Amino acid sequence: MTFSTPSSRRPFRLLVAAASAIAATLFTVSAAAAAPAPAGAPAATTSSSRVVPQLQAVGLASTIALSNCSGSLVRYPSSLDTDRAMLLTNGHCYEGGFLAAGQVLVNRTSSRTGKLLNGSGTAVATVKADQLLYATMTGTDVALYRLTRTFAQIRSTTGLNALTISSTHPVDGHAISIPSSYWKRTYSCAINGFVSTLREGDWTWRDSIRYRYPDSGCQTIGGTSGSPIIDNASLQIVGVNNTLNEQGQACTLDNPCEVNADGSVTYTKGQNYGQETYWFTTCLTSTNAIDLNKTGCLLTK
- Residue-wise pLDDT for 191-246, tens only, equals 999 999 999 999 999 999 999 999 989 999 999 999 999 999 999 999 999 999 99
Mean pLDDT confidence for 39-56:
42
pLDDT, position 15:
55
Q: pLDDT tier at 80 (50, 70, 90 boundaries)?
A: very high
Task: Provide the mean pLDDT of the chain.
Answer: 87
Higher pLDDT, 21 or 4: 4
Of all residues in the chain, what percent carry a pLDDT higher than 90? 80
- Residue-wise pLDDT for 143-176, tens only, equals 999 999 999 999 999 999 999 999 999 999 999 9
Question: Model's pTM, two decimal places?
Answer: 0.85
Sign (positive or negative) of CA dihedral 243, 244, 247, 251 = positive
Lowest mean pLDDT among 12-26, 120-134, 246-260: 12-26
pLDDT, position 16:
53
Of all residues in the chain, what percent carry a pLDDT higher than 70? 82
The pLDDT of residue 10 is above 60: no
pLDDT, position 27:
35
The pLDDT of residue 9 is above 90: no
Q: What Rg value do the Cα atoms of the chain yield, rounded?
A: 18
Mean pLDDT confidence for 19-38:
36
Domain extents in the chain: 7-33+52-164, 175-283
Class of domain 175-283: mainly beta
Nearest-CA neighbor of 26 among 145, 161, 217, 185?
185
pLDDT, position 2:
73
Q: Yes or no: say if 87 and 129 are a contact pair by the CB < 8 Å rule.
A: yes
The pLDDT of residue 275 is above 70: yes
Q: pLDDT tier at 1 (50, 70, 90 boundaries)?
A: confident
Q: pLDDT tier at 254 (50, 70, 90 boundaries)?
A: very high
